[in-house]
Amino acid sequence: MRQYLTGRVIAAMMAAAVALGVGAQARANDVDLLNDKTLMNETTLMSTAHVYHLRLQNEHTGESTDIVYRVGDLYIPTALDQLNGFLRDRWTGAVTHYDPREFDLLHSIMAKLGRPDGVINVVCGYRSAWTNHLLRTASRNSGVAEHSQHIEGRAIDIRVPGVSTVKLRDTALSMDAGGVGYYPKSQFVHVDVGPVREWSFGARTRHAKLRTAKYSKHRHGRKGVIRHMGD
């Protein structure tokens, strides 16, 4: 069950994050909340909780964010709003409410890569239905799924500087948390929190890639079925 924070507890969490030295840019607008000394007990309690932190760079807009979006079991609404805006549809500017589990997945992938403070390059975040249709029909081999998880705010296409896409793909697959798409030609990996499945696109024919992905799924004992080729 997701839990969200407001008011005094958010301020306490920000203070805890300050003590841990992460997410300075994201906390800049909340510094004034830390002046209330009555928050000290809450701050002490929160300082022992695990801090969930992301550093993202948008490859298309050049924007970046360094943000604490969760502490312990509690999500920070203002941080989620910032991430939703950061991941907006770059063609239309539309914003959606991302499933916070997607952020947790990115956090877990970076931790498993041994890069908890590393930067994730975002190739694609949210896509509106209009944008998804436009991209899907732009080419017969667009690699864009008709019912993409990007439309639902459950998917992000990523690269991690200094990490090969093969290693990034394998790390994402080891999470067993949703869909993983491997795009060797474009050199990015799609990760989502939809049904567990995997696919590869862009190196050989679509038929060959589907067969390879099915074999890989049975070999590793992964759950689910491949519902589409594309993200």
Where along the chain do its domains lie?
A: 87-220
């500087």: which residue's tokens? 161
Query: Given a cut of 90, is residue 132 above it in pLDDT?
Result: no
188: helix, coil or strand? strand
CATH number of 87-220: 3.30.1380.10
CA distance 95 to 108: 24
Query: Given a cut of 90, is residue 207 above it in pLDDT?
Result: no
pLDDT digits (tens, 9 = 90+) for 152-186: 999 999 999 999 999 999 999 999 999 999 999 99
Query: Given a cut of 70, is residue 135 above it in pLDDT?
Result: yes
Instruction: Over range 26-47, report the average pLDDT.
Output: 45
CA torsion, ordered 33, 39, 45, 50, to nearest 10 deg: 0
Q: What percent of the chain has pLDDT over 70?
A: 63
Distances (CA, A) of 176 to 27, 113, 134, 135, 222: 32, 15, 30, 28, 8
Q: What's the N-to-C CA distance of the chain in angstroms?
A: 27
Instruction: Over range 93-120, report the average pLDDT.
Output: 97
Return mean pLDDT, the chain.
Answer: 78
220: helix, coil or strand? helix
- Predicted local distance difference test score (pLDDT) of residue 4: 63
